Amino acid sequence: MRIPIIAGNWKMNTTVAEAAKLVQEMLPGLQAVSKVERVVCPPFVSLTTVAPLLQGTEVKLGAQNLYWEAKGAFTGEVSPTMLQGLCQYVIIGHSERRQFFGETDETVNLKIKAALAHGLLPIVCVGENLAQNEAGETVSFIASQIKGGLAGLSAEQVRGLVIAYEPIWAIGTGKAATADGANSVIASAIRNTIAKLYNKTTAAAVRVQYGGSVKPDNIAEFMSQPEIDGALVGGASLKASDFVAIARLSAEAKGLS
């Protein structure tokens, strides 16, 4: 059985002090949900403050991005060697990175390979915009993102990835996809594509999250779907009680409480 994974993407929110306070508020509740993997992804500046707070717990730490070179003249970037040993996960290819910072399937692929080479577990984001959704291009577009992002990876490497399906039109809008709809996209666009690229065993092993206006009041519906293994949570991860509730309700929906 795939272990469910709930990750909180704090985006460009919280000061260092606020990040520490938020982690301290949510830790007791998160530690009680032991059968779901829990990850918090604060801004880069807070990683070294949050890391010691999570030591001795099962709650994992993730970064929100990385650059693919180990070092060099890349002002403002953070390398995989800087994250190595500091956190366990890294979000790669979030739609906001693609939309505002020009990330492509090719650069996502470079980042995935760099993360894996330095012992970091990628959470790879894919998803269509509203125009693509309405034009019936969802499956073909996400399939192309999967093919480009995973190019050159072995089946073993792919089995260790987490993929987050985030319909762009549902991120931060309050408009979530339907659970059935998300499950269908994950089956047809993500697992089916991986099965064609590799094999059915690899496709069945990959954990796939849903992301996009995830809240305590809709998480159980998503987690009750067979192809959905977790959530990449945005705004709701900035409120300790909501994020803890999402983790707890996810465990219950999967029969793990």
Euclidean distance between CA atoms 13 and 256, whole angstroms: 31
Where helices occur in the chain by DSSP H, the ranges are 16-31, 47-54, 80-83, 95-101, 105-117, 130-134, 138-149, 155-159, 179-185, 192-197, 200-205, 219-223, 240-253
Mean pLDDT of 62-87: 98
Q: How many CB atoms lie within 10 A of CB 113?
A: 18
pLDDT of 98-144, one tens digit each? 999 999 999 999 999 999 999 999 999 999 998 999 899 999 999 99
pLDDT of 186-234, one tens digit each? 999 999 999 999 999 999 999 999 999 999 999 999 999 999 999 999 9
Q: Which residues are catalytic?
A: 94, 166
pLDDT above 90 covers a percentage of the chain that reads 94
Looking at the predicted structure, is the pLDDT value of residue 252 above 80? yes
What is the band of 173 on the pLDDT scale with cuts at 50, 70, 90? confident
pLDDT above 70 covers a percentage of the chain that reads 100
Least confident of 31-40, 80-89, 108-117, 163-172: 163-172
Least confident of 129-143, 145-159, 167-181, 240-254: 167-181
In the chain, where are the structural domains located? 5-253
Mean pLDDT of 241-257: 96
Q: 3-state class of 195 per DSSP?
A: helix
Fold adopted by 5-253: TIM Barrel (3.20.20)
What is the band of 79 on the pLDDT scale with cuts at 50, 70, 90? very high
Opening angle at CA 36, ends 230 and 199, nearest 5: 55
Phi and psi (nearest 5°) for 44?
A: -50, -45
The token pair at 89 is 């996960």
**C-alpha to C-alpha distances, 34 to 28, 179, 224, nearest whole angstrom:** 11, 24, 18
Euclidean distance between CA atoms 212 and 226, whole angstroms: 18
What is the band of 1 on the pLDDT scale with cuts at 50, 70, 90? confident
Closest CA to 180 of 136, 231, 222: 222
